[in-house]
Structure 1
Amino acid sequence: MSSEYPPEPWHLAGQLHTSVFLVPFADVIAMLPGAPSQGLPPGTRLIRLGGKCIVGTAWVNYEPGGVLHYRELMSTVLVRSGWRLLPSITHIWVDSEASRAGGRALWGIPKHLADFYFSDDAASPGSTRTRVREFTAAEQSGAIASGTVRGRRRLPWRLPVRFRVVQRLNGRAKITPVRSRATLGLSSATFQADARGSLGFLAGRKPLLTLTMHDFDMTFGG
């Protein structure tokens, strides 16, 4: 498995399922990698709603057609940088050495390697995808998380989805643009984090909202 990665921007395609949680501020601070002052990008602070923070998770399958093909699980927090509200990735796993190396070097995204099972991977070519999708992620030290996503409603149009991600890179805040188009859908999901793992702060919590980006085309980076 090669660790050579393409230059930015990365043009990617696939499926993304993201869920939103409200997590007590103290639990979020405790899970940040390193000291709190080192866990968030410089100049940012956590958004708080009644003592809770907004945490997102995402299962992503980057499919053939983009510059890289791999699977991913991530966790993010919503932060403020000046007047802007931005997601910042705190935990993330991929099954591609190239994605791991490129994410760290180009954008300060703290990617680690893991093994994944996505139920769509087992579908035969040309078959109708299952309505309920299953996901698992594990590293050598043990399980990370598992979950299911059931599609509910899907909009009939492809829409633009644009946002920016802020990370710590070489001691500074690195803001990276993300531009995509996708068919958006409302889904329901379960998420079971291993209580002993890096996402243990999500153990026993239920997502408030789950959205799916079907068949997205994405440009990550400038």
Structure 2
Amino acid sequence: MPTYPPEPWHLAGQMYLSLWSVPSRALPPLPAGLRPLTLAGRALMGGAWVVYENDSVLHYSELLSAVLVRDGRRPRVTITDIWVDSGPSRDGGRELWGIPKEMAEFHMNRDQGFQAAATAGAGVLGRASFRGRLPLPGRLPLSYHVAQTLDGQLKTSPVRCRGTLTIARGDWEVPPGSELMIPARRPLLSLILRDFGLSFGSAPSSAPASRSRT
């Protein structure tokens, strides 16, 4: 029996996100059928630390990198690298959605701002610190699709999220040789998504699910 909950996963917590503009030729490999969404030869890449807590179906920490892509004309997000500290999250991410989760150990401090580090094996994957600058009013809604390769086919999964957004300063450190593939320079933009509620994936239908591109 699976050790993880069925989809959709209902999650809640805090997210610390940075965005970079990178040359498309410098991107990590993408799933077959997806192309980076580019402007003047440059693509948008993100890195995020996430703490899933409160009434989440699973409680864990996460570090990921992702790229804004297109499936034909449809915008998508694809996760290129991701680490978690939960076996059920790793297994569920891989088997339900094709998300290539690996295991890591996290060290986080949220007393003043946010400081985090993640290690895998004997090496440091990355470190970061965030400090909020400008809170935005209201709880903003966000909907998008994540696209990954699952069983040799493209799998798209809906994500619906709502939270309080704060423009922030984010500083990242990625040691040489780290598997975390994000640019070693200051981000274009950093954001904190506070006290978010998120739904990831679709409820299973009574008929066998088709993995068509939605």
TM-score by length of 2: 0.89
1:105 aligns with 2:95: yes
1:123 aligns with none
Deviation at 1:14, TM superposition (A): 0.1
1:81-105 CA distance string (max 9 Å, x none) = 1211111000000000000000000
More helix per residue: 1
Aligned pair partner of 1:187 in 149, 154, 168? 168
Runs of 4+ deviating beyond 4 Å = none
Structure 1 distance, partners of 2:148, 2:106, is 25
Which has the larger displacement, 93-102 or 137-146? 137-146
1:66 aligns with 2:65: no
1:117 aligns with 107
Deviation at 1:23, TM superposition (A): 1.8
1:47 aligns with 37
2:136 aligns with 155
Paired amino acid for 1:175 = T
Structure 1 distance, partners of 2:198, 2:13, is 9
Deviation at 1:200, TM superposition (A): 4.9
1:22-79 CA distance string (max 9 Å, x none) = 1222321xx33xxxxxxx2332111222232211001100013110000000000111
Paired amino acid for 2:38 = R
TM-score by length of 1: 0.86
Q: Percent identity?
A: 45
2:191 aligns with 211
Count of paired positions: 202
Give structure 1 stretches of 5+ with no counterpart: 33-39, 121-128
Structure 2 distance, partners of 1:141, 1:161, is 37
Deviation at 1:191, TM superposition (A): 0.9
For the Cα contact (< 8 Å) 1:185–1:213, is it kept in 2? yes
Root mean square deviation of aligned Cα: 1.6
Q: SS in structure 2 opposite 1:165?
A: strand
Which has the larger displacement, 107-116 or 82-91? 82-91
For the Cα contact (< 8 Å) 1:135–1:146, is it kept in 2? yes
Deviation at 1:159, TM superposition (A): 2.0
